[in-house]
């Protein structure tokens, strides 16, 4: 009996808002001391990014109702809204991530695999310079949320590999860690890179790789690894998240090669460093999975279905599934 096509459901940047996070209206503005910058941030949130970041939980319910039968479900990072900017070490963010995973696991069971995004571990806020990576967030992800940091599953001739982009790109994120925790972050990164090397070394010449990496900032660091570089032609697709919108993905390509900006804070340095190396992303055949909601300006969210034909040597077929905003619950950003 011939195997049926293997279906993968791919979601990213769900940013589910649990009860406690929904109470933190205006969290981003409160982290900004400068009044002018605070006003600019409000305008950016209101017109461009997301006016109400807590109003889109229903989109996850829509996906779970619509997609009942995939063979595998990949969530490519960023489960919560991370309103304290320190990842799931924050109780409210942890609650959001727990509810999100509980909803997904209740529908998909052990077919679900969750990749770490930057908001799982924490990141400095874009405008206020608050927060950053926390080892306590790592521990809660591993122990309490039962999220394996490294993921590798063989499906036919495909190696599906999921990595923690914040660890791979740690040299970029290091300034956002606590000095007392940096030795542990270096150790965690070393262990993670060893797992990646072993996985790529196991790929035979007639096999292919589907790579899942939330933040494309990590891709140039993967390219520096001989075990990855020598098998780059076998990477059929690298699914990224983080950018939320295909429009931003296209803008990133146009800004590729931008020099690093070191004098405007950690967030600008991180973003400009990523854009400076964005030309290297294409070597990985990147495919952006947007957030479920997309962004306010375009309302262009959705997810991907991927079909692997296990009977013949054809490329994976990806089908984009848009999600439409059926209701909006805007709140005043204080």
**What is the CATH classification number for the domain harbouring 305?**
3.60.21
Question: At which residue do the structure tokens 């990224």 appear?
Answer: 240
pLDDT tier for residue 263 given thresholds of 50, 70 and 90 = very low
Question: Could you list the residue range(s) of the whole structural domain that residue 194 is in?
Answer: 6-322
Question: At which residue do the structure tokens 């970041």 appear?
Answer: 53
Query: 96 in a domain, yes or no?
Result: yes
d(CA 41, CA 79): 23
* Per-residue pLDDT, 271: 59
Query: 27 in a domain, yes or no?
Result: yes
* Per-residue pLDDT, 332: 42
pLDDT tier for residue 262 given thresholds of 50, 70 and 90 = low
CB 104 within 8 A of CB 64: yes
Per-residue pLDDT tens digits for 140-190: 999 999 999 999 999 999 999 999 999 999 999 999 999 999 999 999 999
* Per-residue pLDDT, 227: 98
Q: Which of 313, 292, 310, 312 is nearest to 301 (CA)?
A: 292
Query: 334 in a domain, yes or no?
Result: no
Average pLDDT, the chain: 91
* Per-residue pLDDT, 258: 59
Query: 260 in a domain, yes or no?
Result: yes
Query: 166 in a domain, yes or no?
Result: yes
Q: What is the DSSP letter of 52?
A: -
Query: 91 in a domain, yes or no?
Result: yes
Largest CA distance in the chain: 67
Strand partners, 160: 153, 210
Query: 72 in a domain, yes or no?
Result: yes
Domain count, the chain: 1
Q: Which of 217, 237, 324 is nearest to 289 (CA)?
A: 237
Q: What is the pTM of this model?
A: 0.93
d(CA 285, CA 153): 20
**Quick check: 329 pLDDT over 90?**
no
Question: Which region among 1-5, 73-77, 151-155, 232-236 has the lowest average model confidence (pLDDT)?
Answer: 1-5
Per-residue pLDDT tens digits for 13-23: 999 999 999 99
Query: 329 in a domain, yes or no?
Result: no
Q: What is the DSSP letter of 280?
A: G
* Per-residue pLDDT, 127: 74
* Per-residue pLDDT, 126: 76
Q: Dihedral (C-alpha) 143, 144, 147, 148: value to the nearest 10 degrees? A: 10
Per-residue pLDDT tens digits for 55-72: 999 999 999 999 989 999
């Amino acid at each position: 009996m011939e195997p049926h096509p293997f279906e993968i459901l791919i979601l990213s940047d769900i940013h589910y808002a649990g009860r406690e996070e929904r109470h933190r209206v205006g969290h981003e503005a409160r982290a900004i001391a400068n009044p002018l910058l605070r006003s600019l941030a409000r305008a950016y949130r209101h017109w461009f990014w997301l006016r109400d970041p807590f109003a889109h939980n229903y989109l996850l319910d829509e996906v779970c109702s619509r997609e009942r039968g995939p063979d595998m479900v990949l969530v490519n990072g960023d489960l919560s809204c991370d309103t304290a900017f320190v990842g799931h070490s924050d109780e409210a963010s942890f609650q959001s991530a727990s509810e999100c995973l509980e909803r997904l696991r209740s529908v998909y069971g052990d077919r679900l695999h969750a990749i770490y995004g930057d908001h799982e571990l924490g990141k400095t806020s874009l405008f206020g310079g608050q927060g950053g990576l926390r080892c306590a967030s790592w521990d809660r992800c591993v122990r309490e949320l039962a999220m394996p940091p490294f993921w590798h599953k063989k499906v036919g001739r495909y190696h599906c590999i999921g990595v923690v982009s914040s660890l791979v790109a740690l040299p970029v994120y290091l300034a956002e860690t606590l000095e007392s925790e940096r030795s542990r972050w270096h150790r965690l990164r070393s262990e993670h890179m060893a797992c990646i090397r072993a996985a790529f070394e196991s790929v035979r010449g007639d096999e292919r790789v589907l790579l899942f990496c939330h933040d494309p900032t990590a891709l140039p660091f993967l390219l520096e690894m001989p075990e990855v570089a020598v098998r780059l032609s076998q990477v059929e697709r690298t699914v990224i998240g983080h950018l939320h919108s295909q429009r931003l993905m296209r803008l990133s390509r146009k800004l590729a090669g931008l020099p690093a900006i070191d004098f405007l804070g950690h967030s600008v340095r991180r973003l400009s460093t990523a854009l400076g190396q964005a030309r290297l992303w294409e070597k990985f055949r990147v495919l952006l999975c947007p957030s479920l909601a997309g962004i306010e300006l375009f309302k262009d969210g959705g997810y991907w279905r991927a079909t692997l034909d296990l009977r013949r040597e054809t490329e994976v077929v990806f089908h984009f599934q848009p999600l439409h905003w059926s209701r909006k619950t805007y709140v005043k950003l204080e």
